[in-house]
Chain A
């Protein structure tokens, strides 16, 4: 039984990998501009924000939660930091990043308190906050945009700069993924996140601070969304009230595509990274093979649905297999 469980898990990652290769080959045949160094750089840079946020979303989903507020947090954090840069052009990019993360953290803490302390369903709490934060973005910006010329070069450099040809967002994403891998697999608190999602009741009995863990994951998710917001605004060199509208759906899609179970307690970082990359490739490749951008949303939706359905099928199959082995 152990063997089947592991087999189906690595099967899923292998499947993702094969799927990535097939898509790359197919797109490359249609458009040779796909697998060029510059396009791959673009692709990864564009996927970086998604990757940063899917790390947070994985933790949230591991605890059986969901976070619909990330798009709005990105917008608010991005807007606040852009407005600050507009007023005080001299401030260091690092301060902008910290400011954005602070905004996101506050939002995350509030959501976390609602869910952890007051037992509000995650879907309800984050749906509410999605609107509160989006509304706040309109209010602080008074509906206006912050455009490229209003931002300092240092600020835009957060997204456009880089080291040795690798852009800063990619570096940040890689660092965060590595840190996350270490945290979730090798540190006590990281494992407790799995424990809380795997069996909340047992977590309470064995003295794991369930509520504190839940508060923690939404706080981290908020902070990451704040970071993502600053990078987003710097990258597109514009902050708008409707920035990142619906982005939470892409993040959830990438996360479930990576094999993180909606039922909580199971999912691997390697799968998450593959899922995010696959999702990034889909986003990047569709325009290259002349698929209208209006198809993108429908495709995203189908990908989410297919990913969760395949998850269920694989699980059912391995259960049936286990039953056969137990056959009388």
Chain B
């Protein structure tokens, strides 16, 4: 048999370049900003773009690890409760005499442990889906927050701590700097390292990953630990911005975070997605919210919009990836009905 040469380059096509989901998001982002600027003559200033993110970036920290969780083919709905619990413990320990820097570290530690518990439960009890595990811990974590602080608020933090949420370095808000740093780290971790590759592998085919020597449990636990850690960051910045905390803070964050990830084009079937989409989605929803504020639409309406955005983007993605999704159930039916996979029939 003649030696065949296998190419190692990828063809470039403008068509596939522009057919990427992210371009649609860029378009939406531009439209949102055009609408906003017609609503307020003062909108289009550098200041708007620097200060507005201060109001919505706290939950954005969660979008980064949630992207990984969803690429794993899982979901974590306990993130908001984790943020609430760690915030409450930080406040209580601060008032019990712990110095603020240590209290902040404790906040991160508590959140990380919450994530670790999720990860351990999910990997030890494989019969249970991540949905049900994190549903239970979501209730437990927030429940513990209520047990600790009942329905009180706790605040009076040192003034330097408030600077975390509102301050800026060289005109750029601290939160924006911190978020940008985290985003870069997560982006590289997901797309340029062996760890990220393994996350994608698990999301695509957990069994094959395991047979190929991927330490699947370790990867899954790590992702959930990172999710916990980022919930800690959310908690730090949120509490700083609000000036105080209560057991019911961050309520509903899990929804908007998941909505941003899904709007960002990450497939809920797992294994597919890029960090750029969710990053764009953060700013789309953030500025959309800001625009609604400009026309005095009540905050609750945002619930409807976020909910609809989530549903619509899943719908559009499902229709776009129709073949892939249809393979998931009816084609599984074909798998049962015949040989291994639909493409088996196509062997040359």
Contact = CB atoms under 8 A, between A and B. Distances in A.
B137 A301 contact: yes
Interface in B246-284: 252, 254-255, 258-259, 262, 268
A253 B139 CA distance: 10
B329 A135 contact: no
Task: Give the interface residue-count category, chain B.
Answer: 35 or more
Main secondary structure of the interface of A (DSSP, over half): helix
Contacts of A134: 300, 303
B336 A201 contact: yes
A315 interface: yes
A149 interface: no
B127 interface: yes
B155 interface: no
Main secondary structure of the interface of B (DSSP, over half): helix
A202 B333 CA distance: 7
Given A118-B318, A201-B333, A298-B147, A139 B311 contact: no
A31 interface: no
Interface residues of A, number: 50
Contacts of A202: 333, 336
Contacts of A106: none
B24 interface: no
Interface string B121-134: 10001011101110
A301 B143 contact: yes
Interface string B43-70: 0000000000000000000000000000
A294 B150 CA distance: 6
B297 to A, nearest CB: 10
A242 to B, nearest CB: 10
A132 B303 contact: yes
B318 A204 contact: no
B208 interface: no
Contact of A143 (B300, B308, B311): B300
Nearest to A250: B139
Contacts of B137: 301, 305
A131 B255 contact: yes
Report which residue of A130, A131, A308 has the largest number of chain B beta carbons within 10 angstroms of its beta carbon: A131
A280 to B, nearest CB: 17
Report which residue of A292, A297, A312 has the largest number of chain B beta carbons within 10 angstroms of its beta carbon: A297
B151 to A, nearest CB: 7
B128 A262 contact: yes
Given A298-B146, A301-B139, A241 B304 contact: no
Nearest to B139: A301
Nearest to A256: B132
Interface string A98-126: 00000000000000001000111101110
A263 B136 contact: no
Given A130-B255, A135-B301, A143-B300, A312 B128 contact: yes
A66 B128 CA distance: 13
A134 to B, nearest CB: 6
Report which residue of A114, A121, A200, A305 has the largest number of chain B beta carbons within 10 angstroms of its beta carbon: A305
B308 A252 contact: no
Contact of B333 (A205, A295, A304): A205
Contacts of B329: 119, 200-201, 204
A131 B307 contact: yes
Contacts of A201: 329, 332-333, 335-336
A309 interface: yes
A52 to B, nearest CB: 21
A131 B337 CA distance: 40
Contacts of B258: 124, 127
A129 interface: yes
A287 to B, nearest CB: 14
Contact of A124 (B252, B262, B333): B262
Interface string A191-205: 000000000111011
B268 A132 contact: no
A41 B319 CA distance: 51
Contacts of A316: 127
A128 interface: yes
B262 A131 contact: no
18 contacts: A66-B132, A118-B319, A124-B258, A127-B254, A127-B307, A128-B259, A128-B308, A131-B252, A135-B304, A136-B304, A200-B332, A204-B329, A205-B336, A252-B135, A292-B150, A301-B143, A302-B140, A312-B127
